[in-house]
Amino acid sequence: MSLHPPDLSPQNMADGQRAREEQELSMAPPALEVDGISLAFRERRSSLPVLQDVALTVKRGEFVSLIGPSGSGKSTLFHIIGGLLKPQRGRIRMHGQDVTGERGHISYMPQQPALFPWRTTLDNVLLGQENAPRNHTAAHSQYASERERREEALQWLEQVGLGPFAKAYPHTLSGGMQQRVAFLRALLSPQELMLLDEPFSALDALTRADMQQWLLRMWEKNRRSVLFITHSIEEALLLSDRIYVLSARPATVMHVVDVPFPRPRREEITLDSRFSEWKRTMTDWMRQEKYKLDGGMEEHAESVRKNPTDNGADQYE
Ligand SMILES: Nc1ncnc2c1ncn2[C@@H]1O[C@H](COP(=O)(O)OP(=O)(O)OP(=O)(O)O)[C@@H](O)[C@H]1O
């Protein structure tokens, strides 16, 4: 029996609340389970195997990155998760539910911000909620009324420094500002899982570094479940809890890196010697895979040269 009275200080209560939340999160089914996914694009007489038995997990509130050589199948996997493509084998589960081949369960941020030029910044942010399937909208009961949605979106725009641009049109915003709008649109969509497909690839180096820091802070505040595609090893190490490294096509998960750096993280961790070591190791992995892929492409080109009639429309199941 304890001889001490329970510690009811605000700090201790907050720690207890946080521990309870973390325990609940760890017991919840994962936000995303990619289970043994295989897909080959079938052309008339040939087949291009792209994904082979790919498995990965994003637990609730985790930031997970997917990295792999160009052409290894990352976007294809996103299309499968988003229900745009059906795999030949394997299942996609979200929050414990089988959603293979179903659309509408994710919020998505593409490489280009894809804002509607005729809608204001605010209306572009609201688009994710307007387009959400009904079941997700109903589950998100705080978005009860149009007015509340607008107010919440405006508060977010203020928070990210875009308040004065709420009524501006996209062409008046810089590339970085447009990406913030696209991120808010995904963040305020009611679907819990966010897929971010190389969101910073079109930005200049300085804006990209700023946006990484911005995303890091936004994510640390909100802790949404994120699957992030990037070509940048440094970006993946800076942002992620875990990184899945894909092999050359047909892609399998070659390595899983549990990123060892504590949070909250800031740019300074890139100066840490362990950071440089991980970067070097992963660069070697990627380089080896790139060489394999380049060799494979030459073989594929050779087979096309031998079968010049094989240039029909792509088909996939
Ligand atoms: N609809 C399609 N029909 C036939 N082949 C396709 C189709 N979409 C993609 N591919 C091929 O599948 C392979 C994987 O493409 P994917 O875009 O998924 O790779 P990626 O890893 O996202 O590439 P990157 O990093 O360059 O964006 C590539 O060889 C590509 O040419």
Q: ipTM score here? A: 0.97
**Ligand 1 touching residue 169 (CB < 6 A):** no
Sheet strands side by side (includes 63-67): 106-109, 193-197, 225-229, 63-67, 242-246, 253-258
**Ligand 1 touching residue 75 (CB < 6 A):** yes
Residue 138 confidence (pLDDT): 42
Strands 97-98 and 225-229: unpaired
Q: Write the pLDDT tens digit of every residue in 264-281.
A: 998 889 999 999 999 999
pLDDT band for 76, please (50, 70, 90 cuts): very high
**Ligand 1 touching residue 79 (CB < 6 A):** no
Residue nearest to atom 27 of ligand 1 (CA): 70
**Residue 104 is encoded by which pair of tokens?**
């509408």
- Rounded to 5 degrees, φ, ψ at 93 are -120, 140
What is the residue-wise DSSP string for 267-279?
GGGGGSHHHHHHH
Q: What is the dihedral of CA 170, 232, 196, 257, to 10 degrees?
A: -160
Residue nearest to atom 11 of ligand 1 (CA): 71
**Residue 263 is encoded by which pair of tokens?**
């949070």
Distance CA 214, CA 225 (A): 17
Which is higher by pLDDT, 236 or 288? 236
Residue nearest to atom 29 of ligand 1 (CA): 71
Catalogue all structural domains in the chain, each as residue range(s) with its CATH number: 29-105+192-317 (3.40.50.300), 116-190 (no CATH)
- Rounded to 5 degrees, φ, ψ at 220 are -65, -30
Residue 313 confidence (pLDDT): 31
**Ligand 1 touching residue 74 (CB < 6 A):** yes
As a whole number, mean pLDDT of residues 68-91 equals 94
211 Cα to the center of ligand 1, angstroms: 26
89 Cα to the center of ligand 1, angstroms: 18
Sign of CA dihedral 16, 20, 21, 22: positive
pLDDT band for 43, please (50, 70, 90 cuts): confident
Contact 183, 156 (CB under 8 A): no
243 Cα to the center of ligand 1, angstroms: 20
Residue nearest to atom 3 of ligand 1 (CA): 314
Sequence-distant (6+) residues with CB within 8 A of 239 are 63, 65, 212, 215, 216, 219, 228, 265
